[in-house]
Chains A and B, each alone.
Chain A
Amino acid sequence: MKEEIVREASRIVGWNNVLLAPEELVPFRYDASEFKGELPSIVVMPENEEQVSELMALSYDKEIPVVLRGGGSSLTGASIPAFPNTMVISFSNMVKIHEVNIIDSYVFVEAGVRLDDLNAYLSQYGYMFPPDPASSAVATVGGCIAGNSGGMRGAKFGQVKNWVLGLNAVLPGGDVIRIGGKTLKIRQGLDLVSLIVGSEGILAAVTSAYLKIWPAPERIARVLAYYDDLSYLMQAVTKLRESKLVPLVMEFLGEGLLDAVRRVYGDVIEAKGRNLLLIDIDGPEESLRRYVDKAIEALENEGLILYKIPETPEEMERAYLARRAAFPSSLKIRKKPSERVLVSDIVVPPSKLIPTIKEIEAAIDRSGLRAPIGGHVGDGNIHSDIFYDEEDEDEKRRAWKLLEEMAEIAIKYGGSVSAEHGIGLEKRELLKKEMKSKGSLKALEIMREIKKIFDPKNLLNPGKVI
């Protein structure tokens, strides 16, 4: 990168907020996906919106590609440079929580705040920001907005898009836009907030956001139900949805994941049962018992092996942690370090879970690969961790094929190739496939045109999504 650009970037953010040494740039080639990006030329860590704006102007002026980076926990290669000579803008210095307003139900935060920190802060007020990706320890507000993340509480509260009231964002070229607001309702012409949410850092850099907050559940009851046969578990999910109960959390862990988790959390995870359905029901003390009874009624079918209701806060916490750690724990059962994992992230209407799961299991069998499944089943989202040895070309090919087959199954049942992890580098072709199957390639064209309006020089996270 030209010295002049480095000097200018450093002037903007200060030398202390610039990383240039080759060893310091290395981590920015990677995120939590299996992709390896190009080595960026410079990483800058602005402290405020003005600096972001100046950096975006500099990038525009000198035609330097930019990648925006939060916690770097993307599973699809969304936060790594696809091209050389990139400037990474990291939000690690923009971590202020500006304001909490209980009456108006919002918190105003900078983009680099991590979700766990945000929720720890809100808990002092008895409030929470409901979307809770399993990566909340590391994931940032900016990354989750750009990823329209979901999580375990998605069963009740949906994705981030339901919780963003307003955004401040910087466009390529440096213009700042303030869209949406701090009100619970707003009509502002075309809804640009929704456009930025989920845009995976290809349209604008979010600098701060007004996020809607919600009272933390008064009481939670957690039920762990075990089934050998997956279709009985899915039957229970269907029953639960019919029962008009809206559990806070409805998660399932299939065989491979449950085994992995059992190794670490054997104290709270039963030895019996191949698959686990974990549900959280929240409500006021007085009604909780009734809700739990209703849930158990729905869970009970001939496939139910047993159910457990953890009693102490410690047990409850351990059971929750067990679910959160499912994906990483499954990695411990890899046969060798060269084994890699592709994470499938499909979604179908919950009523189609039973046939979907059947077809997925068959596809996994055909592939001859290990691909344990689990997911946020309350909203029809199924993940599968597809293992392959990166040194074995044939396995690698089969893994990608399986990912594609799962996506096809989702499309077939009226679902989508990605529920929450996004498209990134990984699912561009699958997205095309989905739109094509819907006879809606035009929508992709519109997306590309929109991208051009925001970013005429294609400098912001180029090579991703569309």
Chain B
Amino acid sequence: MNGEVLRKAVELAGFCIKCGFCEPVCPTILAFKNSPVYGPRGRILLLREIYRGEFPLNERIRDPYYSCLNCKACYEVCPAEVDVGEISSEMKKLIQLKGLAHALSYVVRDVFQLYGNPLGVKVSNNEISEILPRRGKYTLFTGQLYQLMGYADRISSILDLLREHPSLLNVSTRSGLSSIFLKFKGASHAFIESILCISKLLRGRDVAYDPSADFYSGIFLYDLGFEEVFSEHAKKVFNELKERGITKVVTIDPHTTYALLSLYPRYVEGFDIDVTYYLELLDDLNLKVVGEISVAYQEPCYLVRHLRLSDIRSILESVKGLSLEKVRTSCCGGPIEYLYPERSRAIAKTRATELSAGGKDLFITACPVCMSNFRKIALDPLDISLFIYRNLS
């Protein structure tokens, strides 16, 4: 099994010639003190040494792969089209199989298995039900990511505590710990507001909502390398949707959309649910702003690079009076917030500077993970749904 995963990773890296074009665009190298093993070329070089048995398969190999954001910045510039995000995903699987992952990741898995989502919080979706009908051609599938990210600010403090006292993460105390997460109540309002806005935007477009058919996608489990747990969960979600006769779902965030569009078909045999990202249903928008406004837009990498979906940039560019600088897409650092909070914030800071986010009238994003991560560095991005909703003419 180990050998198989390694071989697959090596095959994925096969055509890399170590030219290093990927290094200048990788957000993690810079955040990890310019150490190239925290960048695409370094990850491949380490992998090849592991494969040849020159570097031991021990816990030292963990951070280089777990720190990968899978943002595909490297893939975009790689002349040999090597996808280091995919390679890191394979390596995470291997690291999990060998039991070398972060203790914290096992907490996430345990909590997830107990409560159906990685934070163990109880997500309430009643307000959406008040906005959208019960039946329709499409069914809204929030994937609960906006809701969960609403708790992220609060949960950070306990994670910091766990990091400072790793002994708390002993296997014997893990399940006890899980219950601590349940104590968190009340998500941050900004995230709830986004979901409600999205729901309102979808009103009258044949989109229904059934709270009993709205599950967490399992994406974080996949990101942590728990392939089997993810795969089981994906099958379960598929069956639940099928049982309710749901054939077309509408997703609202980049990560859930990626899970359903790209991963579920890989892990669930016969997955035949039609998945549409909500902005694709809103192709008739007519937006107006008052006066002149300058906007910084954080383009979610999962949306544009993984999914090549919905050109929000052009929606914004078409608004009269709105000025938007062209800045290359780059990750906010959010995907590694849980395991490497400081590095993740460093990436957010660099990104905010690139976007001159602080100096614009509005800072917009379309991803709850970006939103949450920028909030940690005292910025307050506005979700694209709110911008659209407020400026519909």
| Bind each other | yes
A-B residue pairs in contact (CB < 8 Å), sample of 25: A19-B35, A22-B55, A23-B46, A23-B61, A23-B64, A26-B37, A26-B49, A27-B36, A27-B46, A32-B17, A116-B24, A135-B19, A135-B20, A137-B21, A137-B77, A138-B21, A138-B24, A328-B21, A328-B78, A328-B80, A331-B15, A331-B80, A332-B80, A334-B15, A336-B14
In the complex with contacts A137-B77, A328-B17, A27-B45 CB distance below 8 A: yes
Q: Cβ of B87 < 8 Å from any Cβ of A?
A: no
Q: Are A24 and B35 in contact (CB under 8 A)?
A: yes
Proximity bits, B42-68, A CB within 8 Å = 1, else 0: 100110010000010000110110000
Task: State whether the Cβ of A114 lies closer than 8 Å to any Cβ in chain B.
Answer: yes
Cα distance, A29 to B77, chains bound together (Å): 23
Over the window 263-304 of chain A, the binary record of Cβ atoms lying under 8 Å from chain B Cβ atoms (1 yes, 0 no) is 000000000000000000000000000000000000000000
Determine if A30 and B18 form an interchain contact, defined as CB atoms under 8 angstroms apart.
yes
Closest to A139 in B: B20
Q: Tell me the residues in window 1-37 of chain B with beta carbons closer than 8 Å to chain A beta carbons.
A: 10-11, 13-15, 17-21, 23-24, 33-37
Distance of A228 Cα from B11 Cα, bound (Å): 35
Give the chain A neighbours of B60 by CB distance below 8 A. Answer: 21-23
Given known contacts A32-B17, A117-B24, A337-B14, what 10 new A-B pairs fall within 8 Å (CB)? A22-B55, A23-B61, A26-B37, A93-B34, A135-B20, A138-B20, A328-B19, A331-B17, A331-B79, A337-B10
- A92 contacts the other chain (CB 8 A): yes
Q: How far apart are the CA atoms of A187 and B216 in the complex, in Å?
A: 72
Contact of B34 among A22, A31, A90, A332 (CB under 8 A): A90
- Contacts A27-B45, A29-B45 known; A325 to B34 CB distance under 8 Å? no
Q: Are A24 and B37 in contact (CB under 8 A)?
A: yes
Closest A-chain residue to B23, C-beta based? A138
A413 to chain B, nearest CB (A): 29
Could you tell me the distance between the alpha carbons of A117 and B30 in the complex, rounded to whole angstroms?
A: 15
B46 touching A26 by the CB < 8 A rule? yes
Q: Which of the four size classes fits the interface of chain A?
A: 35 or more
Kindly list chain B residues whose C-beta atoms are within 8 Å of the C-beta of A332.
Answer: 15, 80-81
Q: Tell me whether A26 and B79 are in contact in the complex, defined as CB-CB below 8 angstroms, given that A32-B20, A337-B10 are known contacts.
A: no
Query: Whole-angstrom distance between the alpha carbons of A216 and B229 in the complex?
Result: 56
Within 8 A of B (CB), among A142-165: none
Interface residues of B in 82-115 (CB under 8 A from A): none
B41 in contact (CB, < 8 A): yes
Is B24's CB under 8 angstroms from A137's CB?
yes
The winner among B15, B35, B49 for most chain A CB atoms within 10 A is B35
Assess whether A45 is interfacial by the CB under 8 Å rule. Answer: yes
Say which residue of B19, B33, B55 sits within 8 Å of A32 (CB atoms).
Answer: B19
Closest to A18 in B: B33
User: Within 8 Å of chain B (Cβ to Cβ): is A329?
Assistant: yes
CB pair B20 A71 closer than 8 Å: yes
- Interfacial residues, chain A to chain B (CB-CB below 8 A): 16-17, 19, 21-24, 26-32, 45, 71-73, 90, 92-93, 114, 116-117, 135, 137-138, 324-325, 327-329, 331-332, 334, 336-337, 341
Residues of B in contact with A, size category:
20 to 34
Candidate in A16, A331, A341 with the most chain B CB atoms within 10 angstroms:
A331
A116 to B24 Cα, complex, angstroms: 10
**Nearest opposing residue in chain A for B81, CB measure:** A332
- A27 adjacent to B79 (CB under 8 Å): no
Closest chain B residue to A28, Cβ basis: B36
A58 CB to nearest chain B CB (Å): 20
Q: Smallest CB–CB gap between A423 and chain B, Å?
A: 19
The 7 closest A-B pairs by CB, nearest first: A328-B79, A337-B14, A27-B42, A27-B36, A138-B20, A325-B79, A92-B34
Interfacial chain B residues near A331, Cβ < 8 Å: 15, 17, 79-80
Residues on B with beta carbons closer than 8 Å to the beta carbon of A24: 35-37
> What A residues does B14 contact at CB under 8 A?
334, 336-337
What residue of chain B has the Cβ atom nearest to residue A45's Cβ? B34
A303 CB → nearest B CB, Å = 29
Distance, CA A71 to CA B20, complexed state (A): 7
What residues on A are CB-neighbors of B81 within 8 Å? 332
Contact partner of A73 (CB less than 8 A), chosen from B20, B34, B42, B80, is B20
Query: Is B17 a contact partner of A337 (Cβ separation < 8 A)?
Result: no
Report the separation of the CA atoms of residues A425 and B374 in the bound assembly, to the nearest whole angstrom: 47
Nearest residue, chain B, Cβ from A136: B21
Q: How far is the CA of A114 from the CA of B22 in the complex (A)?
A: 13
Closest chain-B Cβ to A345's Cβ sits at a distance in Å of 15
Query: Bound complex: CA of A447 vs CA of B225, how far in Å?
Result: 54
B37's partner among A17, A23, A71, A137 (CB-CB below 8 A) is A23
Smallest beta-carbon distance B301→chain A, Å: 19
B21 to A27, Cβ gap below 8 A? no
Give the docked Cα–Cα distance between A50 and B79 (Å): 38
Whether A337 contacts B20 by the Cβ 8 Å rule is no
Query: Given that A21-B60, A22-B55, A92-B34 are known contacts, is A337 also in contact with B15, CB under 8 Å in the complex?
Result: yes
Q: Nearest chain-B residue to A324 (Cβ)?
A: B79
**What's the Cα separation between A343 and B193 when bound, in Å?**
58
Min C-beta distance of A375 to chain B, whole Å: 17
Contact A27 B37 (CB under 8 A): yes
Interchain CB contact under 8 A, A31 and B80: no
| B15 & A138 in contact (Cβ 8 Å cutoff) | no
**CB <8 Å contact, A138 and B19:** yes
Q: Closest approach, in angstroms, between the C-beta of A96 and any C-beta of chain B?
A: 15
B156 to chain A, nearest CB (A): 23
A341 to B15 Cα, complex, angstroms: 11
Residue of A nearest to B41 (CB): A27
> In the complex the two chains form, is A16's CB within 8 Å of B17's CB?
no
Contact A341 B23 (CB under 8 A): no
Query: How many Å from the CB of B290 to the closest CB on chain A?
Result: 33
Residues of B within 8 A of A327 (CB): 17, 79
Shortest Cβ distance from residue A455 to the other chain B in the assembled complex, whole angstroms = 26
- Point out which of A26, A29, A329 has the most chain B C-beta atoms below 10 A from its C-beta: A26
Q: Is the CB of A17 within 8 A of B33?
A: yes
How distant is A46 from chain B, measured CB to nearest CB, in Å? 12
Contacts of A337 in B (CB 8 A): 10-11, 13-15
Q: How far is the CB of A35 from chain B (nearest CB, A)?
A: 10
Chain A contacts of B18 at CB under 8 A? 30-32
Known: A45-B34, A137-B24, A328-B80. A341 touches B45 (CB 8 A): no
The answer for the CA separation of A195 and B34 in the assembled complex, in Å, is 30
